[in-house]
Amino acid sequence: MAIRPCLLVSTAFLALTACGEGPSPSAKPAVGLSASEVVNGDECVPLADGMYEMRDGKLLVSSTSPELAANNPALWAQEIQSGLQAAGIDWLSIVMRDQVAIVTGLAPDVDAKAQGFATGSAAIEGHPRAGAAGLMIIDGISVEGGEQGIGAPLAALAGQLSSAESCQSAFNATLDGRVIQFGVNNANISPVSLPLLDALGGITILCRAFEVEIGAHTDTRGADDYNMRVSQERADAIRDYLVSEGVPEDTLKAVGYGESRPIDTGTTAEAHARNRRTEFTIVSR
């Protein structure tokens, strides 16, 4: 049986009334439809009064009030996107959810990528509400024929329900082919790894319903107790950085494994490089 669409919705929150009833005094019809079109049709799907959000093809019940809905980050993203398009920058996209903003798009080259991220970041920071919200801004721009943006898996996750599986997939895709770098024999995070940590932090924020273990591993060179200490210090350093960037502390668990869990038992330089790694693992609370 064909069902006539009764709603035209986006990621914005909408106030809905039950089928066959007139709209409540405070309810507003969906954009593009009159009130009669929303509630009167050949057939419609009955819904309880309340606030709803369309995400990943599903209507989700929300307790957000109409006043707070006007400040929904998804609406800010739409406003910023419109401004970029009006300025002739039509290849950049802005994705926002919770306290995370991702600048995405496909740049023709690395220089355009850098300029695009700077432009997108400035647009977010210049928005009257997004700029005051202290959002974590992530680079999700990919280069045509080149590397996928560090924040691309995060942008994909922002459009899904955050399940344990989708969160773990986002962590794995973000770390695929990438390593968090430290100073030699210490726990000082290299500045070149901060964009990667920001992307991982953004995933952690969207996945805060779960505990996230930061597992640091070393290669087999050096004394066992030394490797264990260094790995714990590095895991702690990552956790401390993410907390300083707004990730809830109770979401993170830092564990140093030293050389106890190698993924390559060889003794070559390549084997050592594979064993020196940091893993983000979803742990059910």
The domain made up of 177-283 has a fold known as 60s Ribosomal Protein L30; Chain: A; (3.30.1330)
Q: What is the pLDDT of residues 196-239, one digit of tens each?
A: 999 999 999 999 999 999 999 999 998 999 999 999 999 999 99
275: its two tokens: 């064993």
Residue 222: predicted pLDDT: 87
The residue extents of the domains of the chain are: 13-69, 73-149, 177-283
pLDDT in tens, 145-162: 998 999 999 999 999 999
pLDDT at 284: 74
Residue 48: its pLDDT value, please? 54
- Calculated CA dihedral for residues 63, 67, 72, 74, nearest 10 degrees: 100
Let me know: does 164 contact 206? Beta carbons within 8 Å. Answer: no
Whether residue 20 is predicted with pLDDT greater than 80 in this model: the reply is no
> Does 177-283 match 73-149 at the fold level?
no
CATH architecture of 73-149: 2-Layer Sandwich (3.30)
Angle at 92 between CA 89 and CA 94, to 5 degrees: 125
For 69, how many CA atoms within 13 A lie in the half-sphere containing its CB? 19
Region 159-181: what's the mean pLDDT?
A: 95
Q: Is the pLDDT of residue 35 over 70?
A: no
pLDDT of residue 177: 92
Q: What is the pTM of this model?
A: 0.75
pLDDT at 46: 61
pLDDT tops 90 at residue 173:
yes
